Amino acid sequence: MAAEQLPEETKVSDRGMVTIPAALRQRLDIEAGDKLRWHVDEDGDLSVEVVQQRYGAFENDDVKASMGGDSIDTHDLAGHEEDSTFTEDA
């Protein structure tokens, strides 16, 4: 039989800010930059939806441009690899 979890409680600051308890952030995978979407139903019950923002605008983009190699190589897009003026050797 699992122990009943006590509700998490935080205080609203004079600027309207609250801190999400660490245990809830970990449990719900909330990280810096994520957004919270607040919903109040007709009975006045509040629910909060976590909107993860950490992956950027191209999260669902499955089109990948292969650069060849092991993805560690640098690539000279300007075409100066063979020009000794642009080498990194001193």
Instruction: Look up the pTM and report it.
Output: 0.50
State the first-to-last Cα distance of the chain, in angstroms, to the nearest integer.
Answer: 70
Question: 14-73 pLDDT, tens per residue?
Answer: 999 999 999 999 999 999 889 999 999 999 999 999 998 876 555 555 656 555 555 555
Residues 6+ apart with CB under 8 A from 80: 86
CA distance 2 to 5: 9
